[in-house]
Structure 1
Amino acid sequence: FFLTTSCWSLPTEYLALYNAKLKQADGVLKTQLRKNGNTYSFELMTEPTGFWKVITKGSIIERSTFSIEDNQLKTYDYELIDTIRKKSRESKSVFNWNNSMITGYYKDREINIALENNTLSRIVLQLQIMHNQENHVDSTDYLILDKDTLKKITVFPQEFITETSVPFGKFQTIKISHQSENSERLNSLWLAPELNFIPIKISQSVKGKVSFEANLTQLKY
């Protein structure tokens, strides 16, 4: 069932499945939002499918917990487990707002960074953009923990409202893009107001060439 957009003053719990394509490889992307009291958890998992599952084992899992304070999503932690690559990667970090520090590790590198306002984990950024659109809050610049450094992210104003078709259906969407400082990678979300601003399409492009794309196939509340 679909909740009305007015119900989404806080994120609803949901599970979304996408067909994904990373360059030539096919896969599935699963995103899941859960709520436990005043705290939320968000998880993304990408796995290869079909022929690529035979030659590429493993998955990429990213997790974060957060809360919402005054329209700002407040990240508490971030975890990455990447077993798809030949050399697996792991990262864990804690956002300690009491002493304004981010501590943890990325692979064999220690993380010990001053925590500033408007700092998010890379996956909570997507939910912040969704939350901003739902609540008519202008998206601004954010700081994102990227590996073991903080990077400034610019969220560009909504580009247009258009009708977008994916395997799950056809919806009116708002396209929002964001980009890291000094990066050629442009990340885009096609948000569907009818679906509580959950993205029905996600892409990453480099110099105008799409390197990753995911299209919604299933959505459960």
Structure 2
Amino acid sequence: MAHSAFKTLGMTAGLTTAILLTGMTSQAFAMSPFQATYQFSYNGKNVGSATRTLSKSGNNWSYVFAAKAAGLASATETSRFTFNNGKISSSSFSRTSKVLVHNNTMSINFHPSSKTISTKKDNESRSFTWKADVLDELNAELQLREDLKGSGLKANYYLADAKEIEARKFVKQGSENVKTNYGTFNTIKVVMKHDKPGRETIFWLAPKLDYLPVKVSHVDKKTSYALLLTGYKGTSN
């Protein structure tokens, strides 16, 4: 259950449309390194913290999500990719998680030369036929944020996980002021669509912080998880 929470909240997408709401101002920043910290809650109770860190070396980028929950669980996800002309090209993704004494690992490697995408979850390996523009659950957030600053969202985004490549859709649902420990932000509210009933994931994105998600909420029937911004170092408007 905790592993599911980390996986869902790891993908915090800067997701919406390039047309901003009346009264909101923005500037089309180029993608740049940043670090954000969050409070992590489970069923309404604060249980830990999380960080997102984007860094680069030349044109090689690394995006890391790390979370801890009260010493009982932890997870780290890392996405590596290149970025040219507003477009992310995935290189690799990895996840390690620990819940009590149980450890899990998952990796994805993108092979454009052989036109394959390979995955491994614990001891199970799979290989998929290459599909253009496939993202992982972390760099998808960054691609969507760049699209938001450019021509707007695509109809679907294709994401690779351990078992398949699947299309994801995101829907804008207006604006909302969100109060965090780092300040109050005018945000755009976006919902990620799920196929399973009883599931809902919502992102609150702050144009002032280059469309960083300042709040994320995921509900899975009677269970809920959330992230709320506590600190930020990076581009701001």
Which residue does 2:213 correspond to in 1?
Answer: 199
Which residue does 1:16 correspond to in 2?
Answer: 36
Deviation at 1:181, TM superposition (A): 4.2
Paired AA for residue 174 in structure 1 = I
Distance (whole Å) between structure 1 residues aligned to residue 223 and residue 142 of structure 2: 22
Specify every segment of 5 or more residues in structure 2 that has no aligned partner in the other structure, as ranges: 1-24
Paired AA for residue 12 in structure 1 = S
Change (3 A) 1:72 1:210: farther
Matched, 1:165 2:179: yes
Distance (whole Å) between structure 2 residues aligned to residue 147 and residue 155 of structure 1: 21
Change (3 A) 1:105 1:26: same
Deviations 1:41-98 (A, max 9, x none): 10000101xxx32xx1x51000011122443322110001001254211012211122
Paired AA for residue 139 in structure 1 = K
Matched, 1:119 2:134: yes
Specify every segment of 5 or more residues in structure 1 that has no aligned partner in the other structure, as ranges: none
Deviations 1:92-122 (A, max 9, x none): 2211122221113111110211121231111
Change (3 A) 1:184 1:70: farther
Which residue does 1:219 correspond to in 2?
Answer: 232
**Secondary structure of the residue that 1:218 maps to in structure 2?**
strand
**Secondary structure of the residue that 1:160 maps to in structure 2?**
strand
Q: How does 1:66-85 map to 2 (within 5 A)?
A: 66-84=81-99
Deviations 1:160-182 (A, max 9, x none): 12211111111110112223445
Which residue does 1:129 correspond to in 2?
Answer: 144
Which residue does 2:58 correspond to in 1?
Answer: 37
Change (3 A) 1:177 1:100: farther
* Large movers: runs of 4+ above 6 Å: none
| Alignment RMSD | 2.1
Which residue does 1:6 correspond to in 2?
Answer: 27
Deviations 1:121-167 (A, max 9, x none): 111121122222222422331121222322221122x2112211111
State, as a whole percentage, how many aligned pairs show the same letter. Answer: 19
Distance (whole Å) between structure 2 residues aligned to residue 144 and residue 184 of structure 1: 22
Q: Size of the alignment, in residue pairs? A: 209
Change (3 A) 1:185 1:129: farther
Query: Which one has more relative contact order, counting CA pairs under 8 Å at least 6 apart?
Result: 2
Deviations 1:162-214 (A, max 9, x none): 2111111111101122234457533222111111111111121235x661110
TM-score using structure 2 length: 0.80
Deviation at 1:34, TM superposition (A): 0.5
Once structures 1 and 2 are overlaid, which stretch shifts more, 35-44 or 179-188?
179-188
Once structures 1 and 2 are overlaid, which stretch shifts more, 174-183 or 14-23?
174-183
Paired AA for residue 204 in structure 1 = H
